Amino acid sequence: MVEAKFAIGLIGSGRIGRQHAMNISKHPRAELVAIADPDISSAGLLATRIDARAVAEPRELIHDKDIDAVVVASPTSTHVDLIAECLEANKHILCEKPIDLDIARVDALWAEVEASEVHIALGFNQRFDPAFSEVYTRISRQEVGTLEHLSLISRDPGPPPVEYLSTSGGIFRDMTIHDFDLVRHFIGDIDEVSAFGAQLFDPGAREVGDYDSVTVSLKSKSGRTANIFNSRHSPFGYDQRLEAFCSDGNFTVSNMESSLVGQSTARGTGSRVGFEESFLVRFNDAYRLELDEFVKLLEGSDSTSPTFEDGREALRLADAALESAQSGKVVSVNTSR
């Protein structure tokens, strides 16, 4: 018996859009039927690779009665309006993070989201990284006792262009937001946030009033703590590590090397190459598994896809971290709406 496939439309044909397109095209229970992008030539090139059609107007895709769900991989400034359009058209949604840069615009959607039967998943793909997921599962089983502290390190190989920084919403909303979601995933809702930011090496960050390096401390409502360390550069490649300290031991996730070949000589022993240079490579499996969970959501099966509320809470933590970094004070996080 051949399983039915869900017809999916994709909005955005940039680097994240291309990642989603390849994953959808390879999924046994999904079919990418259309790609929308105002840059129709970019959409057309991608559509040709996977035998889909290209359109310039997202509305055309969203209101296509033959499309079951929409993946939103367009610029952040478009997310709220596209989610609202999908809700109106009764289309299920997988939306890249963040939902928006303005929490007020996110909250303005709540009534529609709660009244709708549409499934909304947020693109916090790092939850699905096999190594992070394994640690989470083993902590849930209390294999080394109970979790007490979480440490996350995320450093990009190099800073993005200033043109990107100027519209990104700042490092907390753009980069650290993945870490905020992971922290909530591991230790629950957050009660207090304390953050520090620095401008150490990137003239683009200074130009737009952003930070290129940040440190964040968080305390959950259950009393557990976490630290996040972010930097916009790493001379040895994409630096993504985790330590979960528990009552009877700990779990660690180290960097993914770009080669398994090592070298030993009289001068020393070690790897001859650095770590992966791209988050798309480092989290390739995570993007694939994120899509699989979204398909489960479409099927009505149990799914661990992050929700609209998860997206809202991560954005609120980003806002709290920015407030703390600018004020030098610990910021309390109120969970009420």
Q: What is the pLDDT of residues 264-311, one digit of tens each?
A: 767 777 665 667 677 888 899 999 999 999 999 999 999 999 999 999
The per-residue pLDDT for 1 is: 43
CATH 3.30.930.10 fits 6-118, yes or no: no
Residues 6+ apart with CB under 8 A from 205: 159, 165, 171, 199, 211, 212, 232
Tokens of 83: 């989610």
The per-residue pLDDT for 3 is: 65
Measured from the Cβ of residue 158, the count of other Cβ atoms closer than 10 Å reads 12
Contact 237, 157 (CB under 8 A): yes
CATH architecture of 126-332: 2-Layer Sandwich (3.30)
Per the model's pLDDT, the better-predicted residue between 2 and 45 turns out to be: 45
| pLDDT (tens digit per residue) in 22-62 | 999 999 999 999 999 999 999 999 999 999 999 999 999 99
**Mean of the per-residue pLDDT values of the chain:** 94
Look at residue 2 and tell me whether its pLDDT is greater than 60: no
Look at residue 130 and tell me whether its pLDDT is greater than 60: yes
Contact 225, 149 (CB under 8 A): yes
Contact 193, 320 (CB under 8 A): yes
CATH topology agreement for domains 6-118 and 126-332: no
Structural domain spans, the chain: 6-118, 126-332
The per-residue pLDDT for 260 is: 59
